[in-house]
Structure 1
Amino acid sequence: MTDDEFLASFSACTLPPEQFSHAGHIRLAWINLQRLDFEPAVEATCRGIRAYATHLGAATKFHATITVALMHLLRAAGAGERDISWYQFVNANQELMHDARAVLARHYSSQLLDSQASRERFVGPDLQPLPVRAAGP
């Protein structure tokens, strides 16, 4: 499925739930980071995941802090670089693809990530700052 097909299917809420696993979440964020500046990409990703989860009857599954923190980590890993493909990004970022919780645990305690406040709105990290990318989208 091309990025355009994935995004169209996701946006129309016709993407099968099994195709919106962790990798699907990362792909959505990557597509938005490829096409938009950072803040609009975060807004589009959060809005889209909320709408999709609501469509599936799982609105409470959306976690604002995990979503936004992962977008910071993805941007720092090069997700906004327009000259790499999705497959190149995946190959270069296996830890984010297969153990994102461990990456998040460097920045967030489980107590903070498990809080209702961090589920409802973005909360900054309590362990290490999230990476900052000075240049690019």
Structure 2
Amino acid sequence: MNNDELVAAFEAGKIAPAAFSHENHVRVAWGLARQYGEQDGLQRLVVGIKALADRAGKPHAFHVTLTRAWFDLIASVEDLDAAPELLDKSIIKRFYSADRIAEGRELWHEPDLHPLQLPLPPLADNSADATH
């Protein structure tokens, strides 16, 4: 499935929660940012992820800070193929401590270790154990 088809399936609610891998998350976020711009793309991603969580029976699984942080990182690249590091779920640990992630489930929190930008900063010792 190409990116346009994946984004369309995501927005139509046709992706099973178990099939929404990290790679699909990255591809959908990038596609939404390209198709709708950053503000509307993020809103559409939030709606879709919340719907996925509901379909999975985990309506409280949505995390505001992780969703936006990932979206911001992904949307910042022009060529997704040129940023393979985005396929590594652990990179969020380079930007956020575990405490900051824990605080950010309901409200957006800026990163406390490094600004959200590529190239990647070095890995911190007190990193979060959250991925998105």
Question: Normalization by structure 1: what TM-score?
Answer: 0.75
Which amino acid is 1:119 matched to? R
Identical columns (%): 33
Quote the residue 2:97 is aligned against.
109
- How far residue 30 of structure 1 moved from its aligned partner, in angstroms, is 1.0
RMSD of aligned Cα (Å) = 2.0
Q: Take 1:96 and 1:5, find their aligned partners in 2: how far apart are those partners? A: 20
Alpha carbons 1:30, 1:74 under 8 Å: kept: yes
Greater RCO (CA < 8 Å, at least 6 residues apart): 1
Structure-2 change in CA distance of 1:123 and 1:95 (3 Å): same
Residue in structure 2 matched with residue 81 of structure 1 by the alignment: none
- Indicate yes or no: 2:107 matched with 1:118: no
The corresponding residue for 1:5 is 5
| CA–CA separation in structure 2 for the residues paired with 1:40 and 1:10 | 15
Matched, 1:100 2:89: yes
Structure 1 runs, 4 residues or longer, greater than 4 Å off: none
Deviations 1:63-85 (A, max 9, x none): 1111101111112232xxxxx5x
Per residue, is there more helix in 1 or in 2?
1
Distance apart, 1:19 and its partner CA: 2.4
Unpaired stretches in structure 2, ≥5 consecutive residues: 119-132
Contact persistence 1:11–1:52 (CA under 8 A): no
Structure-2 residue corresponding to 1:128: 114
Question: What's the secondary structure of 2:60's corresponding residue?
Answer: helix
- Decide whether aligned partners of structure 1 residues 62 and 38 sit closer, same or farther in structure 2, where only a CA change above 3 A counts: same
In the aligned structure 2, how far is the partner of 1:18 from the partner of 1:120? 23
Query: Following the alignment from structure 2 to structure 1, what is the Cα–Cα distance between the partners of residues 8 and 116?
Result: 30
Could you tell me how far apart the structure 1 residues matched to 2:25 and 2:76 are? 17
Residue 124 (structure 2) aligns with: none
Is 1:69 aligned to 2:69, yes or no? yes
TM-score by length of structure 2 reads: 0.77
